[in-house]
Amino acid sequence: MKKIAWIGTWVMGNAMVQHIIKAWYEVYVYNRTQSKTDNLVAMWATYLDSIAEAVQKADIIFSIIGDPKNVRDTYFWSGWVLENISSEKIIVDMTTTEPSLSKEIYEAHKNSLDAPVSGGDTGAINGTLSIMVWGDREVYDEIYPLFELMWGTIAYIGWAGTGQDTKMANQIAIAGNTIGMTESLLYAERAGLDLEATMNILCAGGACSWGYQNLAPRILEEDFETYFFIKHYVKDMGIALWECERMNITLPGLELVHELYTRMMDKWEGDLGMQSLIIELKRMNEK
């Protein structure tokens, strides 16, 4: 069996790599904060002290590491991934990042896949993520059994950068769904409706969405811990807005949601989950 290195083991990455460990692959893990790998080491993964060592020991290198700057540093810094990788090894970056950066990595190492995911912490834990993949078909076919361990849906997009563009379309749709869900719950609350009954009725009709089914119950329980960090979503929306500017299109819904979440970031609420948008809406409506 191929040896696997996994770079980035916070929340999503930690849950995702567990599925690979449970399939009895030999797995090496690296995270800047070593304690974030302790549970994986307890499952028989091996912690390594450097990215360079992980790349040298493994046949396939996965990463999910925050934002475009982290991706660029991890792959292009001297002594890190691209400087230490041999041509036959495979890179799979699952970070949501800039399409242009994914193309740069592909040009530097053709045996690479760009595979951003959607489904949040529950999808990562349950192995039901949607994975959007671009890269050469033969590389995708080799990696597919590993994707199967984490997947709900796998979409092979094809050419360089389009996995990230598909993820941007996903994040734009989530922006609209999230503000619609939170606004409807705030309206229902102010109208004196039974919120649980309202949620159940809406989930049975045309208003239903994945967010309504999975995030609305958390709001009713005042559970604002992460499903997906605000700070990470603000990063994703920033990438989407940059791409919109490049393509000369205006998406006012995306711009509004980005503004609202940025306000929450300014209040040091970036570590809350996306469902906590209702907190900002309530603040806007305080009288």
Contact 186, 264 (CB under 8 A): no
Task: Give the pLDDT confidence score for residue 159 in this predicted structure.
Answer: 65
In this structure, which amino acid lies at residue 41? V
Q: Which range among 1-10, 104-113, 207-216 shows the weakest confidence by mean pLDDT?
A: 207-216
Quick count: other Cβ atoms within 10 Å of Cβ 223?
14
With a pLDDT cut of 90, the percent of the chain lying above it is 74
Residue 145, helix vs strand vs coil: helix
For 21-173, where are the E strands, in sequence order?
26-30, 46-47, 60-63, 90-93, 112-114, 117-118, 129-134, 151-158
Using pLDDT thresholds of 50, 70 and 90, give the confidence band for residue 287.
Answer: low
pLDDT at 34 over 90: yes
Task: Give the pLDDT confidence score for residue 211 in this predicted structure.
Answer: 86
In this structure, which amino acid lies at residue 165? D
The CA distance from 287 to 280, in Å, is 14
What are the residue numbers of the active site?
A: 167
* Domains by residue range for the chain, with CATH: 3-159 (3.40.50.720), 166-284 (1.10.1040.10)
φ/ψ of residue 27, rounded to 5: -125, 130
The CA distance from 248 to 255, in Å, is 14
DSSP 159: S
| 242 CB-side CA count, 13 A | 13
Q: What average pLDDT does range 121-130 have in this prediction?
A: 85
Q: Mind listing the pLDDT tens digit for each residue in 210-236?
A: 889 989 999 999 999 877 889 989 999
The CA distance from 101 to 148, in Å, is 26
Q: Report the greatest alpha carbon distance in the chain.
A: 63
Contact 95, 43 (CB under 8 A): no
Q: Mind listing the pLDDT tens digit for each residue in 40-62?
A: 999 999 999 999 999 999 999 99
Mean pLDDT of the chain: 92
In this structure, which amino acid lies at residue 129? L
Q: Which range among 2-16, 71-85, 121-135 shows the weakest confidence by mean pLDDT?
A: 121-135
Residue 114, helix vs strand vs coil: strand
With a pLDDT cut of 70, the percent of the chain lying above it is 98
The CA distance from 41 to 133, in Å, is 28
Contact 208, 242 (CB under 8 A): no
Q: What average pLDDT does range 264-270 have in this prediction?
A: 95
pLDDT at 204 over 80: yes
The CA distance from 191 to 186, in Å, is 9
Residue 197: burial class (beta carbons within 10 Å; 0-12, 13-18, 19+) = exposed
Tell whether pTM > 0.75: yes
Q: Mind listing the pLDDT tens digit for each residue in 139-194?
A: 999 999 999 998 778 888 766 667 788 889 999 999 999 999 999 999 999 999 99
